[in-house]
Amino acid sequence: MKKAVFTGAGTAIITPFKNNEIDFEAYKRILDKQIEEKVGAIVVCGTTGESATLNDTEHKKMIDFTLEYVNGRLPVVAGTGSNDTSYAIQLSKHACAAGVDALLCVTPYYNKTTQKGLVRHYNAIADAVDKPIILYNVPSRTGVNILPETCLELSKHPNINAIKDAANSTTQILRTIALCGDELIVYSGDDDQITSHLALGAKGVISVLSNILPGETQRICTSFFEGDLKESLRLQIKYLDLVGALFSEVNPIPIKKAMSLAGYCTDEVRLPLTDMDEANELKLTAIMKKLGII
């Protein structure tokens, strides 16, 4: 039986930039809010953290800084996935040596692989480290889907602990849980389906929404765990329009705009990402005002 690294909302934290450099002062403000509102975990250098445009030095510095600043107050999960298995192992070893609680490893992208390749890729990483690994399944970005049967095979490794499933398939989550049982923890990767995925057996969500609403996103989960399905569903519905606005353009463009509007940081993203479209920005702003966020 695998033990969950965290329960509730793990925030897929943004990487704030200023003049194309990481803005660590802004990052402290963002982390302070996460710690204050007691989210389940901080997930650094994931998709929302623009890991694809962080160079190696920046990637490692973000991991190290997060661990030093959080200082054990929350679990820290580091994104260390790559489409190059050897580089994923290198990053994963660095993160483990630095003291992370777990690793988040996305499926190989662009060069992709077969299901057999996924098994070999993840087992190679898991063999090289001593921390739990959370598989990251996001076919819309990578072009690769981890099938439930492959999850079953991977769950046999003691270091492969969980999966963040952003395949947007209820059937796939059900099949994965049915096959793997307690040997693979499931986290939702979809902010618009947190409550429904918890009802299927997920232990939480790795969330974009919780950047701007950490406490409320955590409450969606804790309400469910405490048996208050009605409250969990109320909150899920309350923030449904906000979630829609946060995914109206490629993540993390909208969440960075939202964080900028709330005064945490600039809305700067790195190319090839660009500024948010004006019409979408106006809609996001209106929703945030209606909810009293700004």
Residue 75 included in any domain = yes
Which are the catalytic amino acids?
A: 136, 164
Tally the domains of the chain: 1
Residue 278 included in any domain = no
- Identify the pLDDT of residue 168: 87
Which of 235, 238, 255, 257 is closest to 246 using CA atoms? 255
Q: Confirm if 149 and 184 have CB atoms less than 8 A apart.
A: no
Residue 124 included in any domain = yes
Residue 162 included in any domain = yes
CATH number at residue 66: 3.20.20.70
Q: What is the pTM of this model?
A: 0.96
Residue 281 included in any domain = no
- Identify the pLDDT of residue 68: 98
Q: Confirm if 104 and 78 have CB atoms less than 8 A apart.
A: yes
Residue 264 included in any domain = no
Residue 103 included in any domain = yes
| pLDDT per residue as tens digits for the range 152-209 | 999 999 999 999 999 988 999 999 999 999 999 999 999 999 999 999 999 999 999 9
Residues of the chain with pLDDT below 70 are: none
Q: Which residues fall within 8 angstroms of residue 256, CB to CB, at 6 or more apart?
A: 14, 16, 265, 266, 267, 268, 269
Residue 255 included in any domain = no
- Identify the pLDDT of residue 15: 98
Domain that holds residue 179: 8-228
- Identify the pLDDT of residue 131: 98
